[in-house]
Amino acid sequence: MICSICRAGLWGAVSKQGPAASPPSFVSLHSTFKDFKHSIDQGCHFCNSLWDGLTSRQQGLLLQDVKFHAQPEISANVYQFRGVTRPGQSCLKITYNLSATGIEGFQKTGVSKINQVQFYLEPTPGDSIMSSQILGSSTDSKQTLSQARSWIEDCSAHHDNCKAAAPNRDWYPTRLLDLDQQESPEQNIRLIETNQTPPSGHYMTLTHCWGSVKQLSLNRDTYSELTAGYHVASLPQLYRDAVYVCKALDIRYLWIDPLCIIQDQLDAEDWKHEASTMHEVYSNAFCNISATVAKDCSESIFNSRDPDTLVPRTIELPISDEEDESLKIQSFIIYDPQLWTSQVSKELVNTRGWVLQERFLSPRILHFGQQQVFWECFEKDAAEAHPSVLPDSLTKLLGARFKILNPKAALPDSSMNYTAFDYNSILSLVWSRIVDLYSECKLTYPGDKLIAISGLAKRISTVLQDEYVAGMWRRNLENELLWAVTSWASVDGKLMLGSARLGSPLIKVEDWNLTYTTPDTTGGISGGWLRLAGVLMGMKLNRNPPSTQVGNEWNMTLESVEITIQHDKVKQLEPHVILDLDDDEFCKENNDGCLFAMPARSPEGAANGTAMYILLFKLVCKDTATYERIGLARAWSEGMKLKILGLDRSPEKPQPPCLQYRDGRHSIRVI
């Protein structure tokens, strides 16, 4: 339902627009909170979306202040563009804004923009709109599972990329749950060792949150019980649901992590071995079942719903005809551009670090969400409300088309004449995007960081044909060392990887050594070092007073020259210092003279608009010339870059501790 105020306002805004690509039209809608709240209560799709995007605190402030002096205003910007899904037809993008004047708790003076939501409107296709009658009242309904079967059959028959994603169809995990024990109905499921009881047919995998609830798991005490067979009713609810899905899809075997890998804490050998095969487990699975919203195995993957709320809403609006300049009434389907992001990518299970590679490697996934089931494979994203394919306006967003990051799909056409640089850059961008997503995820055990992404590294390495070095690649190692906090494998948080496209390296990795926790060289590491050559400069870092911290907390001195300045154009201090870990002060390090900087990347001549990147180190052992990285700095103005490169570093001056000094460059060991 669209309220009369929104409908009339949008009608007026669209009717005044010219052809596609004309400037957006602005329209005021609800000018009082009373009107806005009435439309919410009546079920207006636009108003409810704007209201639901507020926090409970914001809603409370609005409800409380409206009696007195609150003056909320709802407005919209309407932009017309040419469709991609249906070329030549006009589509609309609507941005809804909620602003308010004089609401205590938001902003004491002026107008406060409280929330903003967007919608995409695409012309209604010629065929009829989906009816709620073909959607069941729960995600375990016959209709839902029938749609799941349809997706799987279409994918397995027609999607070449999805077939290629499972390279070894005869490969099976070490253990599987056999769901077809017809000879013993009272014990209708059992754990099998696949080398002793060879499976026949496909297997599925389950992705879920473990949570803190105590659950049935495989260990020395339960091994004989699980391999002897047991009734499915003895399983936790989540596992029973997964068995139900497998049986509904005629799949006999199921792999569940805690039931197929020995979980003994005192003996982690089985876990280490199985962790090294995770890429095979998920790559060769027929389909993955993702319990998207369940908090732990005690909850169900299925949810009840109102089918009417899933049916795409429509609205009729006037669109100008470029040929005769007349207005024609066009029916539009309203899409929420955050649908995939909010109901798949940002849902609970997909925020877990281990799940990223499970999702990436599985050729097919059924995401059992709160309101509907979503489909994801290497060639298509879909949902029960959009069973054929997600609308183009949704798939162009970063939240959707996650599996397009498959390196084979991302590579350029082999018939094109790409240079090696372009080819490697594309692969580097794929890996950077993967790490970017992964660094946003959470891990119960931070030490699993490299292990939990090792399956992805194995997949990428088959295409990249490069040596993997603790989350980075040898071919581009000098650039990838320039990651910025929020950081990568050693530090928790969001990450920005170094890129091969941002200038020429001024450093050279001469050697490295890593100690692995297992024979798997894409897995966890317990220690290591690399030998790095570059120009090492003495450095001091002093925290600026709060009043002068213009986008940067730190003032930098190099070779006894204070170089930090405020760049007037961008109103920031440069060089911009980004530390790997927050540090209150560097007083002791400054006094001891153990801080150093090494220019790491800059364009030749320094004057082509590309930023200079500088590695920051702390000396930890003078005798072995061993340093540890503490951060990264960036300088962007031409004057600053030339100033840094022109600092006095004559050979006659005392040199920093190094393994070797030759041709003005220092070789150091970095840990």
Position 33 scores a pLDDT of: 79
Residue 335 CA, distance from chain mean position: 22
Cα distances from 31 to residues 27, 36, 59, 62, 71, in angstroms, run: 11, 8, 17, 14, 7
Position 106 scores a pLDDT of: 58
The answer to whether 319 and 330 are in contact (CB under 8 A) is: yes
- Between 215 and 109, residue with greater pLDDT: 215
Q: In the numeric block, which tokens belong to residue 16?
A: 């005044």
Q: Where are the beta strands (DSSP E) in 57-198?
A: 71-82, 90-101, 111-123, 175-178, 190-193
The answer to whether 575 and 647 are in contact (CB under 8 A) is: no
Specify the 3-state DSSP secondary structure of 65.
helix
Position 550 scores a pLDDT of: 58
φ, ψ of residue 349 in degrees (nearest 5): -65, -30
CA dist., res. 82 & res. 90, Å (int) = 5
Size (the chain), residues: 671
Asked if residue 446 has pLDDT above 70, the reply is: no
DSSP state of 351: G
* Residue 131 one-letter amino acid: S
> Residue 174 — pLDDT band, cuts 50, 70, 90?
very high
> Residue 413 — pLDDT band, cuts 50, 70, 90?
very low
> Residue 411 — pLDDT band, cuts 50, 70, 90?
very low
> Residue 414 — pLDDT band, cuts 50, 70, 90?
very low
Position 271 scores a pLDDT of: 86
CA dist., res. 42 & res. 5, Å (int) = 12
CA dist., res. 48 & res. 100, Å (int) = 17
Position 545 scores a pLDDT of: 76
- Between 16 and 269, residue with greater pLDDT: 269
Closest CA to 637 of 602, 595, 666: 602
Closest CA to 439 of 376, 485, 499: 485
Q: What is the mean pLDDT of residues 270-286?
A: 89
CA dist., res. 541 & res. 555, Å (int) = 6
Position 68 scores a pLDDT of: 40
Neighbouring CB atoms inside 10 A of 114's CB total 20
CA dist., res. 489 & res. 470, Å (int) = 8
pLDDT tens for residues 319-358? 876 665 677 888 888 888 888 888 888 888 888 877 888 8
- Between 657 and 182, residue with greater pLDDT: 657
Position 613 scores a pLDDT of: 92
- Prediction pTM value: 0.78
> Residue 110 — pLDDT band, cuts 50, 70, 90?
very low
Beta bridge partners of 287: 204
Asked if residue 642 has pLDDT above 70, the reply is: yes
Q: In the numeric block, which tokens belong to residue 494?
A: 């969001």
Mean pLDDT highest for which of 54-63, 218-227, 491-500?
Answer: 218-227
Percent of the chain at pLDDT above 70? 79
- Between 456 and 289, residue with greater pLDDT: 289
pLDDT tens for residues 463-478? 777 888 888 888 888 8
Q: What is the mean pLDDT of residues 242-253?
A: 95
The answer to whether 480 and 498 are in contact (CB under 8 A) is: yes
CA dist., res. 635 & res. 154, Å (int) = 52
Closest CA to 204 of 234, 233, 167, 166: 166
pLDDT tens for residues 500-555? 555 578 999 999 999 988 888 888 888 899 999 999 999 999 988 766 555 568 89
Position 415 scores a pLDDT of: 38
Neighbouring CB atoms inside 10 A of 646's CB total 9
Task: Please confirm whether the linkage preceding 24 is cis (ω < 30° from 0).
Answer: no
Asked if residue 412 has pLDDT above 70, the reply is: no
Asked if residue 671 has pLDDT above 80, the reply is: yes
DSSP state of 53: T
Position 571 scores a pLDDT of: 67
Position 645 scores a pLDDT of: 87
> Residue 669 — pLDDT band, cuts 50, 70, 90?
very high
- Between 86 and 161, residue with greater pLDDT: 161
Characterize the bridge pairing of strands 364-368 and 287-291: parallel
Neighbouring CB atoms inside 10 A of 137's CB total 13
- Between 310 and 545, residue with greater pLDDT: 310
Domain ranges within the chain, ordered by starting residue: 4-123, 142-304+340-400, 408-533, 535-670
Position 16 scores a pLDDT of: 74
The answer to whether 205 and 221 are in contact (CB under 8 A) is: no
Beta bridge partners of 577: 633
- Between 225 and 311, residue with greater pLDDT: 225
Q: What is the mean pLDDT of residues 449-457?
A: 76
The answer to whether 508 and 533 are in contact (CB under 8 A) is: yes
Mean pLDDT of all residues in the chain? Answer: 81
CA dist., res. 129 & res. 316, Å (int) = 14
pLDDT tens for residues 590-611? 999 999 999 998 865 444 557 8
- Between 367 and 406, residue with greater pLDDT: 367
- Between 178 and 328, residue with greater pLDDT: 178
Specify the 3-state DSSP secondary structure of 438.
helix
Position 109 scores a pLDDT of: 43
pLDDT tens for residues 126-146? 554 556 667 889 999 999 999
CA dist., res. 18 & res. 366, Å (int) = 43
Cα atoms found within 13 Å of the Cα of residue 243, Cβ hemisphere only: 21
> Residue 409 — pLDDT band, cuts 50, 70, 90?
very low
The answer to whether 27 and 97 are in contact (CB under 8 A) is: no
